[in-house]
């Protein structure tokens, strides 16, 4: 019963998803895998009995007990073949639960089929010795061939051979997490987990609980022992993003992990041993933070074994065309868009801007232009003129369809706006959104304040622009 199946399909992959995951199946087939699909636990277990697979995808939506049995059976039958859990909630706890079941990787929703295949390719690549695998920046999600990026690639190639701690410096939006992941994928720890945590998004108590775990009874609601992310990532690489935002008390506990490779769970006394490489990333000047008493000097030197600086986009403008091409392709893949490219004048305008928000800002600008493009090519007018910071401007304020006598525009009053009686719900929404755009200055900040996605905001603006044109022509 426990013998390895004799029938082995070359490049075979098992996908266990209740809805069939047709997009993922097509992407895997296109990549050269022979795909077997299973809609339920019984089908999956029968497939594992009949054949062997190079990888298994299993959906969290299968249900806790069924998920656990499929992951366990995959481990028993396939040995080291990776098992990837397709998450449903995208929470840290869900990812931790998947790792505790024995999964080799976890993908948070939404599940981009192409990204899932690229990630699987990286996992399968880990079986080869580092020296035999050529460095392929595009495979690792890094784009650019400028001298600054070539120097960075050379540094990654050298540093990744060792299990060293790395301090990763760079402005916000330069892609520090992508570089950290490239260091992991190229290094001797690539057979283990890469775990990123953003220190700025969690309070001290929550961050410590996530990093170190807790013992049963450590606090109200701690009904059972929970392993922390450090423990789950044992043997792998840990990215502490925005390290400058970490509380001093947590910094002291992190220093113990770096010095002694051990820690105690919250509420516990037993020492937990771990073997980790730490990549710490920040856009702050840590020496200034040390002088201000906000960062420990001893921790700084423990992290600064090797320092890498990710160049800002304005110092590698020659990479912008390749980045734009990659972002347009990604937009088409995610949204079903049919944007063929960017006209030369628009591309030149993008190259000339300073992009204080770096690659992240460029990506948002390209996506916004793709949404607003009237044809299959992004034109200069789709970008608009940059504002004082070099960022794309707000679009011209669209007018409401001329179906009735115009209502007076909302009047800002100390951070508020007044909406007149008789204003329709749709018109009130339009006025609130435009007022937030005017107040916050960028689409991204306005979208965050309104609690909507950036794509939703772009779609509404584009729809209002079309309505205004229709009204004019009527």
Hey, is 446 helix, strand or coil? helix
| Contact predicate 267/227, CB 8 Å | no
| pLDDT number for residue 317 | 92
Task: Assign 449 a pLDDT band (cuts: 50, 70, 90).
Answer: confident
Contacting residues for 323 by C-beta, under 8 A, at least 6 apart: 143, 144, 359, 362, 363
Hey, is 7 helix, strand or coil? strand
Which of 202, 210, 205, 181 lies closest to 277 in space, CA to CA?
A: 181
pLDDT tens for each residue of 259-316: 999 999 999 888 999 999 999 999 999 999 999 999 999 999 999 888 999 999 999 9
Q: How far apart are the first and last CA of the chain?
A: 74
Return the percent helix, strand and coil in the chain, to nearest 5: 45, 15, 40
Residue 9 scores a pLDDT above 50: no
Which of 356, 335, 339 lies closest to 459 in space, CA to CA?
A: 335
> Token pair of 384, please?
């608009």
Q: Which listed CATH number (1.10.8.60, 2.70.180.20, 3.40.640.10, 3.40.50.1110) goes with 314-393?
A: 1.10.8.60
Residue 16, judged by CB atoms within 10 A of its CB (0-12, 13-18, 19+), counts as buried
H-helix or E-strand containing 107?
A: strand 105-107
Residue 410, judged by CB atoms within 10 A of its CB (0-12, 13-18, 19+), counts as buried
H-helix or E-strand containing 463?
A: helix 454-473
| pLDDT number for residue 293 | 94
| pLDDT number for residue 3 | 43
User: What pTM was estimated for this model as a whole?
Assistant: 0.56
Q: From CA 81, how far away is CA 279, in angstroms rounded?
A: 27
Averaged pLDDT, 380-399: 55
Angle separating helix axes 358-372 and 320-335, nearest 10 degrees: 50
CB atoms within 10 A of CB 42: 10
Q: From CA 253, how far away is CA 62, in angstroms rounded?
A: 38
Residue 406 scores a pLDDT above 50: no
Domain formed by 1-125, architecture = 3-Layer(aba) Sandwich (3.40)
| pLDDT number for residue 167 | 94
Task: Assign 453 a pLDDT band (cuts: 50, 70, 90).
Answer: confident
pLDDT tens for each residue of 74-133: 877 777 678 888 888 777 777 777 777 778 788 888 778 887 887 777 777 654 444 444
Averaged pLDDT, 418-425: 76
Pick the more confident residue, 333 or 409: 333
Asked if 1-125 and 134-311 have one fold, the answer is yes
Residue 47 scores a pLDDT above 90: no
Residue 49 scores a pLDDT above 90: no
H-helix or E-strand containing 371?
A: helix 358-372
Query: For 134-311, CATH number?
Result: 3.40.50.300
Q: Which of 33-42, 113-122, 183-192, 244-253 has the highest mean pLDDT?
A: 244-253
Helices (H), 213-296: 229-232, 248-260, 286-291
pLDDT tens for each residue of 219-241: 888 888 888 899 988 899 999 99
Averaged pLDDT, 412-441: 74
pLDDT tens for each residue of 166-223: 999 999 999 999 999 988 888 888 888 899 999 988 888 889 999 999 998 888 888 8
Helices (H), 79-225: 92-101, 113-125, 147-159, 176-186, 204-212
> Token pair of 13, please?
């992959």
- Give percent of the chain with pLDDT exceeding 70: 83
Domain ranges of the chain: 1-125, 134-311, 314-393, 402-474
Residue 413 scores a pLDDT above 70: no
| pLDDT number for residue 416 | 67
Q: What is the mean pLDDT of the chain?
A: 80
The DSSP bridge pattern shows strands 262-264 and 271-273 to be antiparallel
- φ/ψ of 400, rounded to 5, equals -70, 150
| pLDDT number for residue 467 | 54
């Amino acid at each position: 019963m426990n013998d390895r199946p004799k029938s082995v399909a070359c490049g075979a992959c098992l996908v266990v998803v209740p809805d069939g995951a047709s997009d993922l199946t097509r992407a895997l087939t296109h990549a050269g895998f022979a795909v077997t699909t299973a809609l339920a636990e019984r089908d999956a277990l029968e497939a594992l009995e009949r054949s062997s697979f190079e990888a298994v995808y299993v959906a969290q939506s299968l249900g806790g007990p069924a998920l656990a049995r499929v992951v366990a059976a995959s481990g028993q039958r396939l040995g080291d073949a990776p098992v990837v859990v397709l998450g449903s909630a995208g929470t840290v706890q869900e990812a931790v639960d998947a790792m505790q079941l024995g999964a080799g990787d976890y993908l948070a929703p939404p599940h981009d089929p192409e990204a899932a295949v690229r990630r699987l390719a990286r996992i399968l690549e880990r079986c080869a010795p580092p020296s035999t695998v050529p460095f392929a920046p595009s495979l690792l999600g890094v784009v650019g061939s400028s001298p600054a990026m070539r120097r960075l690639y050379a540094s990654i190639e050298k540093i990744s051979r060792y299990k060293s701690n790395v301090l990763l410096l760079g402005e916000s939006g330069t892609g520090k997490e992508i570089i950290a992941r490239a260091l992991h994928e190229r290094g001797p720890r690539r057979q283990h987990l890469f775990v990123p945590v953003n220190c700025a998004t969690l309070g001290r108590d929550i961050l410590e609980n996530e990093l170190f775990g807790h013992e049963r009874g450590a606090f109200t609601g701690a009904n059972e022992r929970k392993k922390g992310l450090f423990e789950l990532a044992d043997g792998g690489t840990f990215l502490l993003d925005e390290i400058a935002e970490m509380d001093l008390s947590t910094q002291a506990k992190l220093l113990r992990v770096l010095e002694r490779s051990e820690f105690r769970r919250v509420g516990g006394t037993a020492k937990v041993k771990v073997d980790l490489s730490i990549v710490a990333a920040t856009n702050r000047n840590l020496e200034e933070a040390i002088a201000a008493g906000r960062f420990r000097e001893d921790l700084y030197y423990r992290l600064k074994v090797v320092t890498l600086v990710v160049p800002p986009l304005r110092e590698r403008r020659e990479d912008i065309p390749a980045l734009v091409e990659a972002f347009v392709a990604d937009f088409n893949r995610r949204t079903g868009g049919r944007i063929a490219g960017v006209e030369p004048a628009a591309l030149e305008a993008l190259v000339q801007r300073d992009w204080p928000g770096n690659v992240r800002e460029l990506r948002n600008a390209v996506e916004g232009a793709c949404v607003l493009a009237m044809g299959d090519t992004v034109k200069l007018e789709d970008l608009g003129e940059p504002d004082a910071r070099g960022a794309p401007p707000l679009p011209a304020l669209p007018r409401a369809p001329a179906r009735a006598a115009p209502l007076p525009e909302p009047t800002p009053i100390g951070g508020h706006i007044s909406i007149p009686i008789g204003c329709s719900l749709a018109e009130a929404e339009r006025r609130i959104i435009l007022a937030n755009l005017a107040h916050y200055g960028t689409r991204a900040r306005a979208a965050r304040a309104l609690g909507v996605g950036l794509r939703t905001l772009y779609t509404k603006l584009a729809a209002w622009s079309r309505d205004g044109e229709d009204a004019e022509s009527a």
